[in-house]
């Protein structure tokens, strides 16, 4: 059964010109791209996205970071898309993320760690609704679907 996940390429990924490299990893893994846009996130969107962290000491710095530059918002879908996305990203702390993961290969920071990915199918649905209108998502069958899964 197909599942969706939200993946954000945060401002550091865009500024460092890593968007193509990171998108390619999701494509090569076999997930299908269902939505993609470049967004300058307003504070209101960042507040909703990071609402779970409100009141924590790092909350304001998260908001400042996410609103500091363009973000590539994407919806990927496929078998176990949430787990697959999180495995591709690696641990939150780039210094501790294993080589071969996005953060393990390109990040050293905990906050400026290039990517965000939904942590559960339930949160994926909520996050996708924050970043995308239903008509911005495209349904299709991949020609390689029977080989990828």
The residues annotated as belonging to the active site are: 116
Burial of 135 (0-12, 13-18, 19+ CB in 10 A): exposed
CB 77 within 8 A of CB 3: yes
């Amino acid at each position: 059964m197909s599942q969706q996940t939200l993946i954000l390429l945060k401002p550091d990924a865009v500024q460092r010109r890593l968007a193509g490299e990171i998108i390619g990893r999701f494509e090569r893994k076999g997930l299908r791209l269902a939505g993609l846009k470049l967004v300058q996130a307003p504070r209101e969107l960042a507040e909703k996205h990071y609402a779970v962290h409100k009141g924590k000491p790092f909350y304001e710095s998260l908001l400042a970071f996410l609103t500091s530059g363009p973000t590539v918002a994407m919806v990927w879908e496929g078998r176990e898309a949430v787990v697959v996305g999180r495995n591709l990203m690696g641990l939150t702390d780039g210094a501790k993320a294993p080589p071969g993961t996005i953060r393990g290969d390109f990040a050293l920071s905990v906050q400026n760690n290039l990517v965000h990915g939904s942590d559960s199918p339930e949160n994926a649905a909520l996050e996708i609704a924050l970043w995308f209108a239903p008509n911005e998502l495209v349904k299709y069958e991949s020609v390689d679907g029977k080989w990828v899964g």
